[in-house]
Amino acid sequence: AWEAKKPLVIEDIEVAPPQAHEVRIKITATGVCHTDSFSLSGSDPEGLFPVVLGHEGAGIVESVGEGVTNFKAGDHVIALYIPQCNECKFCKSGKTNLCQKIRLTQGAGVMPNGSSRLSCKGQQLFHFMGTSTFAEYAVVADISVTKINESAPLEKVCLLGCGISTGYGAALNTAKVEPGSTCAVWGLGAVGLAVGLGCKKAGAAKVYGIDINPSKFELDRKFGFTD
């Protein structure tokens, strides 16, 4: 995305090798989230351009930088827009969704050391949400990636990077749905359907799906909705 409110374009870009505590991933699958569209619209006060968008990506580690010990070439991984440093008070308390390193990994559109690994036609490109998965390769901090089972289909598990975990976690961790509950979910997109999965997992007795698109109602039954 060269600028806000303009269509995305396909370009040949350079993705520099990973530096210390960084991982370069060959992206094999990525989802499209409303947050990508929101940033492209120019409405995001922290939006930076030019930028490589995308933050729901899965792939295979291509190379690692100095000091990386938890990952190696060939590992199947999901990129994480929320890091987990395991050092800050939030990570140590178990509230890893509040990791204090998030401003370093994604807050300024560059890597934690303040530089970018992305360029096009000699011009620096910004990283997006610490991931930038709308490219064949992505460089992320080694606290912004997690290893997954090699048997997991990458074209499906890429959605765990945002939409599915957002909705599923909203039911289990935020709403703390209890067994026997009656729940209602407004909007049956990817996040809403994942909320249904979370409600079902929590043991809800009734899960109502509400949407202006009636074609969604047949699909929602597969995700734990009852009505």
Q: What is the pLDDT along the chain (227 residues), one digit of tens a residue?
A: 999 999 999 999 999 999 999 999 999 999 999 999 999 999 999 899 999 999 999 999 999 999 999 999 999 999 999 999 999 999 999 888 889 999 999 889 999 999 999 999 999 999 999 999 999 999 999 999 999 999 999 999 999 999 899 999 999 999 999 999 999 999 999 999 999 999 999 999 999 999 999 999 988 998 989 99
Amino acid making up residue 199: C
Q: Identify the CATH homologous superfamily for domain 14-161.
A: Medium-chain alcohol dehydrogenases, catalytic domain (3.90.180.10)
Q: H or E stretch including 77?
A: strand 76-79
pLDDT of residue 94: 85
Check whether domain 164-223 has CATH 3.40.50.720, yes or no: yes
Q: Nearest Cα to 40, choosing from 9, 81, 7, 80?
A: 7
Amino acid making up residue 207: V
Instruction: Give me the numbers of helices (H) and strands (E) for the chain, helices first please.
Output: 7, 10
- Region(s) of the chain under CATH 3.40.50.720: 164-223
- How far apart are alpha carbons 197 and 168 in whole angstroms? 6
Q: Cite the DSSP H helix spans in 94-204.
A: 102-106, 154-157, 163-169, 190-202
Contacts of 104 (CB under 8 A, 6+ apart): 112, 141
- How far apart are alpha carbons 192 and 166 in whole angstroms? 9
Q: H or E stretch including 185?
A: strand 182-186
pLDDT of residue 209: 96
Q: Which two tokens stand for residue 165?
A: 């975990």
> Alpha-carbon torsion 180, 181, 182, 185, what sign?
negative
Residues in the chain: 227
- Region(s) of the chain under CATH 3.90.180.10: 14-161
pLDDT of residue 96: 80
- How far apart are alpha carbons 24 and 42 in whole angstroms? 28
- How far apart are alpha carbons 120 and 49 in whole angstroms? 12
Q: Nearest Cα to 87, choosing from 172, 21, 18, 169?
A: 21
Q: State the pairing for strand pair 118-120/14-15.
A: antiparallel
